[in-house]
């Protein structure tokens, strides 16, 4: 409940403050957001599987974000940044879908 409220609070703050993304972070923020979303859905799934752990959630959240950003950073350095970020988005998207499917099966048995 508290994390869900946190998400809403964060959205509201972002919408009202109109912050500018620092130039250095601009290529990585979207990927980091997707990775974090994936972690959140994974967390919900873990709750339903009965294996949720707060600490694991926090650690995996941070590591996912950092790794996703790092992959894109590495891709940019290698000159394949846009392709690699596309790949990362695809992989994370697939994971989000499978997590959502698992959640759906738990909640609706369908």
* Contacts with another protein, residue ranges (CB under 8 A): 1-15, 18-21, 23, 26-27, 29-30, 32-33, 36-37, 39-40, 42-43, 45-64, 76, 81-82, 95, 99, 106-107
Judged by CB, which is closer to another protein: 56, or 90?
A: 56
Least Å distance, CB 59 to another protein, is 7
Give dist(CA 97, CA 57) in Å, integer.
19
Judged by CB, which is closer to another protein: 29, or 87?
A: 29
Q: What end-to-end distance do the CA atoms of the chain give, in Å? A: 25
Least Å distance, CB 86 to another protein, is 11
Helices (H), the chain: 2-17, 29-49, 54-78, 81-108
């Amino acid at each position: 409940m508290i994390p869900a409220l946190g998400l809403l609070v964060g959205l509201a703050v972002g919408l009202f403050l109109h912050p500018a993304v620092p130039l250095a972070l601009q290529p990585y923020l979207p990927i980091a957001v997707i990775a974090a979303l994936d972690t959140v859905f994974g967390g919900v799934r873990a709750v339903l599987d009965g294996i949720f752990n707060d600490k694991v959630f926090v650690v995996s959240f941070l590591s996912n974000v950092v790794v996703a950003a790092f992959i894109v950073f590495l891709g940019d350095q290698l000159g394949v940044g846009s392709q690699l970020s596309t790949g990362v988005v695809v992989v994370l998207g697939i994971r989000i879908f499978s997590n959502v499917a698992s959640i759906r099966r738990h909640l609706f048995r369908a």
